[in-house]
Amino acid sequence: MTDRLKGMAGIRISGWGVALPEKVVTNEDLSKTLDTSNEWILERSGIAERRIGGTTSGLAVEAGKLALESAGLEPHDIDLLILATTTPDDQVPATSSKVQHELALTCGAMDVNAACSGFVYSLVAGSGFLHAGCNRILVIGSETLSRFTDWQDRSTAILFGDGAGAVVLESSSDGGELLGWDLSSSGELRDLLYCSIGGKIHMAGSEVFRKAVIAMANSGKASIANAGIAPEEISLVIPHQANIRIIETSLKRLGIPLEKAVWVGDKYANTSAASIPIALAHALDNGQVKENDVILLVGFGAGMTSASAVIKWGEIND
C-alpha cells in the first residue's frame, strides 16, 4: 500500500446490531444425518452450534435497524449503504437495494462480494467514502450460507451458519482512526473454495486451512506495518470466525496472544461476511472495547481474498 492510500483520519463506529435466526442446529443434530460427531467438529473447528434460517435481506434489515437505533439515527441520516454478502437474495437486483427500501434509507446502496473478507473490504471502502464527503455509512455483513450448503457433505455442512451484523461508520473528530489496512486477492486459487451459479459450496478444507493461516498472518502484518505500530500495541483482534485453530495458528505467526482474540464461532459457526461484525458487536456489548484501544480486524475467504484493518477506537461516551 502506498502512503497515498494509507489510513484516513477521523472515523467512529457509532452504532451496531446483530441479527440471528432463531433455529439452533447443534453438532449433535448434524451427527444424526451425517457421519460425524460433536467431538470431531469441536476438536477440528471449535464450532458447537450454528443458527440456520431467514433471508439475507431480512437479516440485514434487522441488524441494520438495531445499528441505526443504537447510533440514535434516522434512516435519512445515512449517506450510503454497503452490504457485504456472498449469498444475495437474487442475482439482480443487488440485495442492498431491497435493504435500502425496507430500512427507508434515502441514499445509494451497493453489494460487495469479497466472500468472508467482504465486511473488512466494505469498512475500508466506507472509510474512503467518508473521505470523499459522506458523513454516515451503514455497513452490513449478511449471509444465508445454509441455502448453498450441501447438507450431505460432512466436510462443509459442519462449518457454516446464517446471520448478519451491522455498523454505522461516521466521520469523527473524537480520536478514532483507521490507522492501516490491507486488501488482497489470489484469483488463481478459485477452485479451493467456490459455489457455481445454481450449485452448492465446494471446498478443499485442509488446503484452505493452510492458505488461510498464511493469508491472515500476512494481511495482519501488512496492516500493522501500515499503521506504523508494533503487534504488542494491538489491544483486541476481531478475526473471521471460520475455525478456532486457524485463529490460533495465525495469531501465533503475528505474535499476538490468543487471549486478545474474540471467538463467537462456537455459537454461530462461519457466517462468512457476517462473522466479523457479529464478533465485533459481541465484544462491544461485553465491554471488551475500551477508549483508545487499537483493534485488528482480519479475515480471509474464497477468492481467495484476505482483508485487514487496524482501527484506533476514540472516545467512549456513555
Q: Which residues bind ligand UT7 (CB under 6 A)?
A: 36, 40-41, 44-45, 116, 154-155, 158-159, 193, 203, 205-206, 208-209, 212, 242-243, 246, 270, 301
For ligand UT7, give the closer residue by CB, 15 or 265: 265
Q: Which residues are catalytic?
A: 116, 240, 270
Cell 442475482 locates to: 91
For ligand UT7, give the closer residue by CB, 40 or 194: 40
The distance of closest approach from Cβ of residue 158 to ligand UT7 in the complex, given in angstroms and rounded to an integer, is 5
b/e 268-297 (16+ beta carbons within 10 angstroms → b) = bbbbbbbbbbbbbbbbbeeebbeeebbbbb
For ligand UT7, give the closer residue by CB, 109 or 297: 297
Q: Are 308 and 274 in contact (CB under 8 A)?
A: no
> CA nearest 93: which of 117, 109, 78, 115?
109
For ligand UT7, give the closer residue by CB, 56 or 172: 56
Query: What Å distances lie between residue 111 and 98, 273, 304, CA to CA?
Result: 11, 11, 18
* 227, containing H or E segment: helix 205-227
The distance of closest approach from Cβ of residue 210 to ligand UT7 in the complex, given in angstroms and rounded to an integer, is 9
The distance of closest approach from Cβ of residue 53 to ligand UT7 in the complex, given in angstroms and rounded to an integer, is 20
Task: For residue 62, give every residue at least 6 positions away whose Cβ sits within 8 Å of its Cβ, in sequence order, or none.
Answer: 17, 19, 164
The distance of closest approach from Cβ of residue 59 to ligand UT7 in the complex, given in angstroms and rounded to an integer, is 18
